[in-house]
Structure 1
Amino acid sequence: MVVLRKVVQVGATGNLGAAVLESLISTPSLEVTVLSREGSSSRPVRPEEVNVITADYGSVDSLSAAFQGADVVVVTVGASGLASQARMIEAAIRARVRRFIPSEFGADTLHEKARGLPVYRAKVETLNLLKAKAAEGLIEWTAVFGGPFLDWGLSRGLFGFEPAAADATFFDGGSTQVSTSRLTDIGQAIVGILQNPSKTANIPIYIQSTCTSQKQLLELAERTLGKKYKVTNVSTEQMEKAALEKMKQGDMSGMRAFLVRAIFAPDYGCNFTARLANDLVGVKELSPTDLAALVDETLRQTGQS
């Protein structure tokens, strides 16, 4: 029987990393170790409850030593750490790690259009490498796709509006139905994968806390904040073209436009409703009432309403 009990989480700080760590250490059956980059001053929020070790992310030998004895490696690094995943995979194979969960969690980088966007190059290369190694029988993989982060995104303007602003931006009309997940549900999905190792090997896992649109979220926000936003409509196609022109000039400041394109363009695959594995990994969808309450709570926590 396959058992995935001993977990090494790489990158357990930040909004996502902390939420995933909370889910892992709250599961009594799991033995969790956090791996941090040598020289980093960042530490998990609750270091007293987890073993913290360090490694040189640029060294396969250092990473392999850190992964010794682990059943699974869960990577929750941010954009700056994505290029290190090839070395992590090689190190995990050397250490005989059974499962590798790469840093994905957002838009569907397996979708033919989304995977072609420059912002996802490192993630696409990582998944391609994992598939190749899995085909050789060297390691298993599971990729989690949850769409944009719901609670975090509401407080950071990811859905086209911010609590304190007077203006909102709708991408491609604002009606695209998008799968989106709370940070805690991403953590739950990872726990669910570890608890169902045979059914989750070498496949993508699609989850959502809800499937909604910018228009629906803005209506809920206006109700909470007691105001109306002035809405501007923007084409994600035009955003992508402008970002590509910037790249040709060596200007990488338009990378966010590619993220917006992958999330809100209707034909870029960020509606996972027909492919959900929520039941398999224990993620419960929000009811309309629950979603309204989440929007209200999240926006009020920002202190702006």
Structure 2
Amino acid sequence: MSTIRKVVVLGASGNVGRPIVGALIASGFDVTAVSRSTINSSTSNLSAKYLTTDYSYSSLSDVFKNQDAIVCAYNPAAAAAHHKAIAVAALACGIKHLITPDFSSDTFNAHVDELQIFEPKRKAQRYLERKIQDAGSSMHWTAIICGPFWDWAIPRGIFWLDPKSRTVTIFGSGNQRISMSGISMVGRASVEVLSRPEKYVNRPAYFADYTISNNQLLAIAEEVAKEKWNTRSVSLGGLREEGLKQWDEDTKNGVHDRLNSTAYQMLGTYGLFEGDNRYTADFGDKAEAGWQKGVYELEEELRVLLEQKEHR
């Protein structure tokens, strides 16, 4: 495959987009960072070229012209609204490789449609593959699966470990192992895929820093803090059913950006902690070799997060 140097990052101003832009620039890629609105120059990486788009076909065609690859780093609502225009413009402009808008749980799991929350990504994926096939195009894609971003979520109080109250929430038995990554993984994995695209052609690629259960995380937190932590037990019984009910209510009420909805949180939680790994929350056996870290590294990273929380 030919070398990829020029990369467009869509959704460059978001939580996923920003570390991807930084990692690609640090690795020598020529980056065009794209968002719907102008990116604040004081917080942007001056080595990137910054553009705005309304996600129309004509706007995207201007952005994609003479580019090698696209990284889709926008949220699920954008995937639902814009995936068709992105796919068609990418094919028309001769894009070589597209990293799809995943960067989350295993959207390629055989049962994942039961959760509803990945429907926009699933539709975008099916449409992309169909358009590539219909066009007889040589464009390739990769989906990066990296699990929840634990070091991003903890300071925001949306992880199952709460440093402020010294509490770990135990969902179900607490024994279900979860493959998870630091937020920097989105950038590290994107660099890896675009540096060696021939290794990741037309498939999901699984990357994780750690694979660990809540019970294991509790023990590590207590070791790091040198004190006993509290636990809060949450049953998974009926959680999926209630989440689906709320999802249907949101649909009736015209909710489109569901990422922060109660239904999304309930269904996402169930998908991660369901006790039989039905939705591949533990994808450690699929993960790319050489990327997972050890317990000592988790202890050190957690210690830093605890210290940061204590000083706020």
TM-score by length of 1: 0.89
Residue 290 of structure 1 and its aligned partner are, at CA, apart by 0.6
2:69 & 2:204 partners in 1: Cα distance?
Answer: 16
What is aligned with 2:173? Answer: 173
- TM-score normalised by the chain length of structure 2: 0.87
In structure 2, distance between residues paired with 1:236 and 1:205:
29
Matches within 5 A, 1:184-263: 184-250=184-250, 253-263=262-272
The gaps in structure 2 that reach 5 residues or longer are 254-260
Equivalent residue number for residue 300 of structure 1: 307
Q: Deviation at 1:18?
A: 1.5
Structure 1 residues 161, 174: CA separation in 2 closer, same or farther (over 3 Å shift)?
same
Contact 2:102/2:121 (<8 A) preserved: yes
Partner of 2:71: 74
Q: How much does 1:248 deviate? A: 3.4
> 1:287 is matched with which residue: 290, 294, 305?
294
Tell me the matched-pair count.
298
Return closer, same or farther for 1:43/1:118 CA change in 2, 3 Å cut-off: farther
Quick one: distance in 2 between partners of 1:146 and 1:125? Answer: 20
For 1:111, the aligned partner's letter is: N
CA distance in 2, matches of 1:247, 1:276: 31
Structure 1 unaligned blocks of 5 or more: none
Contact 1:170–1:231 (CA<8 Å) still a contact in 2? yes
Match of 1:123 among 121, 124, 131: 121
Residues 2, 198 of structure 1: 8 Å contact kept: no
For 1:300, give the aligned amino acid: E
Cα 1:48–1:118 shift into 2, 3 Å: same
Equivalent pair of 1:34/1:51 in contact (CA under 8 Å):
yes
Change (3 A) 1:72 1:293: same
Q: CA RMSD, aligned part only?
A: 2.2
Q: Which residue of 2 aligns with 1:36?
A: 35
Contact conserved, 1:142 with 1:201, CA < 8 A, in 2?
yes
1:87 aligns with 2:94: no
How far off its partner does 1:96 sit?
A: 1.4
2:286 aligns with: 275
User: Partners in 1 of 2:175 and 2:157 — Cα distance?
Assistant: 17
Shift, 1:167, TM fit: 4.3
Identity score, percent? 27
